[in-house]
Every structure is written in C-alpha cells, then in structure tokens.
Amino acid sequence: MDNIFIYFANLPDHVKEMIAPCYDGYTIYLDSNLDEIQKVEAYNHALSHIIGEDFEKHDVNAIEINAHREGGIIL
C-alpha cells in the first residue's frame, strides 16, 4: 500500500474527512472537532476509498454507495 499521511484540521461543516492523492501516497485530513470514535470512523471511510481505488473511478454517487455498503475497515 502507498504511504498514508494523516493531518487534523478544522474542516467545513459536515465534512468529516478529505483525501488528497500525493506523489508518494495519500494525505487524509480529519476534522479535528470530531470525537475519537468519529475520527476512527472518518479514517476508516477514507481508507475504504483508498483501498477501493476510488480515485480511478468517475461516478461519485456509486463510489459513496460502495464505501458505505462495505462498512469500511475497523482499526
């Protein structure tokens, strides 16, 4: 798996995480205002997009439906 870099930031309302592909992996930004359980859930959701290679796909609605159906990975 590629490198995954995690940062905490004050994200806009209703945005729990953001993912940005970078030259040597991915950067995941988690909303620093989330509690610990929400941060883990947001990280798992982001990780499911990376593992599912969603950045190669074009149908955003299908990507989100799949990410929520699979339930993510629990760490």
Residue type, position 22, single letter:
C
| Choice between 73 and 22, residue whose per-residue pLDDT is larger | 22
Q: Which residue has the tokens 């990975």?
A: 73
Q: Which residue has the tokens 């993510």?
A: 72
Q: Which residue has the tokens 């490198």?
A: 3
The answer to whether residues 67 and 45 touch, using CB atoms and an 8 Å cutoff, is yes
Residue 4 has a pLDDT of 95
* Predicted confidence (pLDDT) per residue in 31-53, tens digit: 999 999 999 999 999 998 888 87
pTM: 0.74
β-pair partners for 21 = 26
Residue 75 has a pLDDT of 45
DSSP state of 42: H
Residue 34 has a pLDDT of 97
The answer to whether residues 65 and 41 touch, using CB atoms and an 8 Å cutoff, is no
Q: Where are the domains of the chain?
A: 3-70
